[in-house]
Amino acid sequence: MRQGGHTPIGFVPTMGYLHEGHASLLRRAGEMSSTVVMSIFVNPLQFGPNEDFASYPRDEARDLELAEREGADIVFIPSVEEMYPQPIRTKVSVSSLTTQLCGASRPGHFDGVTTVVSKLFNMVQPDYAFFGLKDAQQVAVLRRMVSDLNMNVEIIACPIVRENDGLALSSRNVYLSAQERSQALVLSRSLQSVRQAMEEGKVRTVDEARELLVSVISSSPLAVIDYAEILTFPELETLDGSSLLTDADGEIIMALAVKFGRTRLIDNNVFIPKEAHALV
């Protein structure tokens, strides 16, 4: 971190349509920083050709109200033309970590994320940048990018924020019909079911845990599974299916991506099996 008389800058990059999850990031930034900067930018580079860039929810006036209420000192809202004034020929790419989970389902997505975040870091020059663990893969990728490129910023991962019924907050939740939203509760329920089964000794191996995860999700008629995986964290490496979960060295992640209608939702749980202690 910077020395001398420098006062720390906290940065919260967002794509807007803010909710309580973003508010929690701003509050955490305010606790650690003298100046809090939030950006709102729907980044076209991280959307695939058949994804929802054009229809992604936007409400700038509402976003600015929340930002002011939660203590943001500066809100940076660049246009696409400002971020990419000419066709971009330089991209930032993190290998290995981006081939699993959402990286496998959304080719090029994380190149778009790392490229825009590195540009934003250069513009804002923050000491700390705050990201939610709902997208734990993104946190892992950005931490590796910062480490590999010796960027002078620390990535601060913040806990998942959920509705009272367990649904992880997401800007895309607005797309869900009442029936889809009700059935989407199966995501948090599946993660809880596996954790409980592990603690009770009913699930011991990686394969058993994955099978239970898929079984619970599949009990929801509208759920279409993109992936339901159990990997090391933050390395995101595959675990031997027959290995005992308690043999895992350090943290693991149970990660989900499931579609309900046209809406793709993600959720996860990162924990240390040997301690059976939830971290998110």
Which residues are marked as active site? Answer: 22
β-pairing, 263-272 with 252-260?
A: antiparallel
> Does 234 sit behind a cis peptide bond, omega within 30 degrees of 0 on the bond before it?
yes
Q: How far apart are CA 154 and CA 30, in angstroms?
A: 15
Question: 75 forms bridges with which residues in the sheet?
Answer: 38
- Which two tokens mark 269? 């749980």
Token output for 16: 């807007």
Q: How far is CA 62 from CA 18, 19, 40, 41, 133, in A?
A: 8, 10, 12, 15, 24
Distance CA 110, CA 46 (A): 7
Helices 60-69 & 20-32, crossing angle to 10 degrees? 40
Closest CA to 46 of 97, 95, 91: 91
Cα gap 232→210, rounded to integer Å? 14
Q: Contact at 8 Å (CB) between 230 and 149?
A: no
Residue with tokens 């913040």: 158
